[in-house]
């Protein structure tokens, strides 16, 4: 299956909760609604959530554009919330990236990321079949969220603190190399 084949074939996938996608390269990108979920689940202020569990980065795309993002912190390439038993410590409040993966443009619409995901994920190709009609609203949700994020970046002059309503550490932030898909940015 190649990127975008989901539109005609759907996807066969059931997560086995192995935790493999919570490790390694790539980041969990956060959007303002993710911080709402984290605040409420962890019962912390927005600023405390950001200070304890996130970090700002900049993605360097092929066209030399730098894009700032807030991401979940990692310990040596492992998500800060991955428990020793392989389960997620914040399962009920985890970001939409984690809730909906791999049903997002970053994976289903991106050839290279999909290839990597299929390599590490034992749930791919097994279990339930998800039809194009089921996947379409999720793909549209993530596309819209990304568009709104980019609009907010422009509106706030690329000031990440303003978009999230928090104070962030001063720049420079880590710069990560990303790639551009046919449809949209992705650095997974």
Return residues touching ligand SF4 (CB under 6 A). Answer: 15-22, 28, 72, 79, 81-82, 88, 90, 94, 98, 101, 120-123
Least Å distance, CB 188 to ligand SF4, is 12
Q: Are 58 and 71 in contact (CB under 8 A)?
A: no
Instruction: Please tell me the distance from the alpha carbon of residue 152 to that of residue 162, in angstroms, as a whole number.
Output: 9
Least Å distance, CB 30 to ligand SF4, is 10
Residue 143 burial (10 A CB sphere; 0-12, 13-18, 19+): middle
Which CB, 44 or 153, lies closer to ligand SF4? 44
Q: Token digits for 3?
A: 């990127």
Phi, psi of 22 (to 5 degrees): -95, 5
Which CB, 21 or 114, lies closer to ligand SF4? 21
Q: Are 86 and 73 in contact (CB under 8 A)?
A: no
Task: Give the DSSP letter of residue 31.
Answer: -
Which CB, 79 or 139, lies closer to ligand SF4? 79
Which CB, 122 or 174, lies closer to ligand SF4? 122
Least Å distance, CB 127 to ligand SF4, is 10
Instruction: Please tell me the distance from the alpha carbon of residue 71 to that of residue 3, in angstroms, as a whole number.
Output: 24
Which CB, 2 or 83, lies closer to ligand SF4? 83
Q: Which residue matches tokens 């989901």?
A: 6
Least Å distance, CB 64 to ligand SF4, is 29
Instruction: Please tell me the distance from the alpha carbon of residue 158 to that of residue 151, in angstroms, as a whole number.
Output: 10
Least Å distance, CB 80 to ligand SF4, is 7
């Amino acid at each position: 299956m190649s990127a975008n084949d989901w539109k005609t074939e759907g996807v066969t996938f059931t997560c086995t909760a192995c935790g493999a996608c919570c490790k390694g390269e790539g980041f969990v990108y956060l959007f303002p609604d993710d911080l709402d979920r984290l605040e409420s689940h962890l019962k912390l202020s927005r600023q405390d959530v950001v200070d304890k569990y996130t970090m700002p980065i900049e993605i360097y795309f092929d066209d030399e554009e730098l894009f700032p993002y807030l991401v979940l912190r990692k310990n040596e390439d492992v998500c800060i919330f991955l428990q020793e038993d392989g389960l997620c410590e914040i399962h009920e409040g985890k970001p939409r990236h984690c809730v909906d993966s791999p049903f997002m443009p970053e994976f289903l619409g991106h050839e290279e990321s999909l290839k990597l995901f299929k390599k590490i994920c034992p749930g791919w190709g097994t279990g339930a079949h998800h039809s194009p009609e089921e996947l379409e609203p999720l793909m549209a949700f993530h596309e819209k969220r990304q568009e709104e994020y980019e609009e907010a970046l422009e509106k706030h002059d690329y000031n990440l603190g303003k978009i999230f309503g928090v104070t962030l550490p001063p720049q420079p932030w880590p710069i990560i190399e990303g790639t551009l898909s046919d449809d949209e940015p992705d650095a997974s």
